[in-house]
Structure 1
């Protein structure tokens, strides 16, 4: 369970944060609440307490639960593209990930969701150790060194619940936090398919390597170095070096130009163009000059199709929910623990009320009524 906030100032801070994310000015929210703007200012400063009805109304207007305003937010490790700063995008990610983690906690608390914890024993301080960690993760999965299919299901076997939601075309790639023994990852569904897979593999690195995580994502050299190690883990997890080198040799007899071979590798391993080009350079399959040229010669869909019809499978298309989480939500509903409206909310609109089966309690009641009627 989340720790409770201990002061009205902290609650007021949550009100201010939720108001800003919802796009309300103090005056606009105060008018909707039927109070003076100065009263709302005092609430946000912690100088005025809220009663239950007032907090419920604020939660309704800002699209939150009352619990959200009263509990400490989970600490999130957010991944963003290097060299770009966008605090609002980071806040949007943290907000979405916080809500997903609360939903995970709910399903865990009602006994509908359990997931085994997994981690790697050794620390990672060098690129070689990151590559070894990726090999160890694959060994845990028993999946060999070829392309990984259905990455979302794969990471779940390693104790990570993965979600893809559209966070908009901003700078945020994804984020990770731990709730209890379970890891929760959220990737930006607005990214292209291959990038979404790389982003999820990156969050898996934070999960398996027991990384320190915090809401501060402002950077610093130490953090940049750590992120580079996690990036190395991610690409070696998706594209193990020996496997890629062997496949490159096979493709060399079929395609004369490195660009064509990279098309095939990108499609087979389901990795975006920038990542596959950089990895090929790291593995010394292409020169620095070739890498620099290929990075700006980004392929089109037609390029992929031309090379034996190679194309991407659309993994992690938003909204994509962790399989165990979705099953747990339906399990809780069938048991009558959560309502129909709540399960639709938990499943992010991937089902409607008409799609839901009859809860077990209702089915039993109907059967009992039928037996009584037949007597």
Structure 2
């Protein structure tokens, strides 16, 4: 909010302006006096006293006008240089060059100074966005290149005539697996882009959250039975007003991750607890855990964590980014707590009605 000037500040500014006028006027008329005094001393001038004073006064006015004109010319030239520099900076930014930093200390304060600061802030923000864009393109290219390389290599191998039917089926199954992986990457990218680009309506409705979690756990039964995992459910009867399809994606991603990163005969515990102003879902596993460093970046796009997690299961690194975005759209938050080799717990907090 812009602050108005106090009475003391107004008095000080008026006093300062008045003092400057007196200084310039005094200097101009003093210079006029010394010039006319020198001229009268070196030339025989016989004029009435009032005429001499009038000449002194007129010369003083002329000198004062010249001083003001010189000061204005210098000030306008400096302002013009500042505006030219700012326009050049904006042109560079428009062409994609965000390495712009105008030096405000040597320029102006006030409105021009604020404008310079705004340009510097804009350049910094755009530079950060550009770095994120370049990193995103690099990550997408890397994720797509890997399955494409496999498909190309095995497709070339299939052209050999000495392959047995079993070898052909094996290579075809790998190609099918890699195309499925490409399809998942494409679907997740489209979903994440849609979530980030639109302020979309959630199309919320009331439904039983505990029932939704039960159904998802049952749908994952083949996966956790195969690894002989022990599942424990503590689900309070809970109604929620939310987008059922979106939240289903959240639980599917988190439960699938828990199954993937939990070793054989491990355990997973899912707890749903309703509080007066908050609904909390916790999905904890006895898996390989996440390091402190990785916990800081685990929700970033394409971030896969340490090598141990990467070796344990394939993935595009987009699942947790989608989880975080969906939860934030519901005005909630998702956090992780974990210790290496001791398991992880993902906690989702959503506002109650």
Per the normalisation by structure 2, the TM-score is 0.22
Structure with the bigger RCO (C-alpha within 8 Å, sep 6+) is: 1
More strand by share: 2
Using structure 1 for the length normalisation, give the TM-score: 0.21
Q: If you compute each CA radius of gyration, which structure gives the higher value, 1 or 2? A: 2
Kindly indicate which of the two structures has a greater share of residues assigned to helix: 2
